[in-house]
Amino acid sequence: MKLLIINGSRNPSGQTGSAAAALADGARSAQCDVEMVLLPELKIERCRQCNAQGWGLCNQQKGCVIEDDFAALAEKVGSADVLAFASPVYYGDLSESLRAFLDRLRRICTFEKNNGIKGKAALGICVAGGGGGGATRCAASLEWALTTTGFDVIDMIPARRQNLEMKRELLRTVGAWLAEKPSSA
Ligand SMILES: Cc1cc2nc3c(=O)[nH]c(=O)nc-3n(C[C@H](O)[C@H](O)[C@H](O)COP(=O)(O)O)c2cc1C
């Protein structure tokens, strides 16, 4: 079983990173193969909404026309058994790097019916590391982005600075559980 964790924070050992690491620890404890990707380290442009109608060229051709790190990561998503998307909470919403990636992933999934992503199990983690507000708002935003991309959203885990230690414990349990039940089916 392969778990791919995509982290929209730029700090691998920050609060979101620690939540992602707890999920990874739990999954590895159940013999799951885990890969972590730190999105801000990759070059992923925002969607260009290529043509006047806004439907873009991915409507007519396979994949996205922009030549950057997007295609390779989208392929990794397609080959993982289960996905986790982690975001620091910015303004009660997703980080810009995760937004840019998911905006483009949703676009190609609208047109490439057999890209291996539709129906794949995914969960979200949103960490409000400042005052602690906006984690559930961010979770709602992430849940909608994942749903409209075609994922089977099996859980959303909001966390805030004040409860992060408890949520890390929960994430270890969820990681081990994911290794056994990669899909909600
Ligand atoms: C632009 C920006 C907006 C932020 N908005 C919020 C917010 O709405 N609520 C909150 O609790 N923290 C907010 N924070 C704090 C981040 O959630 C916190 O820095 C982050 O969880 C910690 O970053 P890390 O997880 O990458 O270590 C914001 C931080 C930045 C940089």
Ligand 1 atom nearest to 10, measured from its CA: 26
> Are the C-beta atoms of residues 125 and 159 closer than 8 Å to each other?
yes
> Are the C-beta atoms of residues 158 and 86 closer than 8 Å to each other?
no
Find the 60 Cα to ligand 1 centroid distance in Å: 38
Is residue 183 pLDDT above 80, yes or no? no
Tell me the domain boundaries of the chain: 2-180
pLDDT > 70 fraction of the chain, expressed in percent and rounded: 97
Find the 70 Cα to ligand 1 centroid distance in Å: 25
* Higher pLDDT pick, 179 / 78: 78
Residue carrying the six token digits 């056994």: 180
Q: What is the pLDDT of residue 56?
A: 86
Q: What is the pLDDT of residue 54?
A: 87
CB within 8 A of 61, min separation 6: which ones?
Answer: none
The rounded distance, in Å, linking the Cα atoms of 128 and 135 is 5
The verdict on the CB of residue 128 being under 6 Å from ligand 1 is yes
pLDDT digits (tens, 9 = 90+) for 103-161: 999 999 988 766 788 999 999 999 999 999 999 999 999 999 999 999 999 999 999 99
Per CATH, the architecture of 2-180 is what?
3-Layer(aba) Sandwich (3.40)
Strand ranges inside the chain, DSSP E: 2-7, 33-38, 82-88, 121-128, 152-160
In the chain, what is the greatest distance between 2 CA atoms, to the nearest angstrom?
A: 50
What the block records as the tokens of 61 is: 């051709």
* Average pLDDT score, the chain: 94
The verdict on the CB of residue 7 being under 6 Å from ligand 1 is no
The verdict on the CB of residue 127 being under 6 Å from ligand 1 is yes
CB within 8 A of 24, min separation 6: which ones?
Answer: 3, 5, 34, 36, 175
Find the 140 Cα to ligand 1 centroid distance in Å: 16
The verdict on the CB of residue 163 being under 6 Å from ligand 1 is no
DSSP element (H, E) containing 79 = helix 70-79
pLDDT digits (tens, 9 = 90+) for 2-11: 999 999 999 9
> Are the C-beta atoms of residues 87 and 138 closer than 8 Å to each other?
yes
The rounded distance, in Å, linking the Cα atoms of 130 and 107 is 32
pLDDT digits (tens, 9 = 90+) for 5-54: 999 999 999 999 999 999 999 999 999 999 999 999 999 999 999 988 88
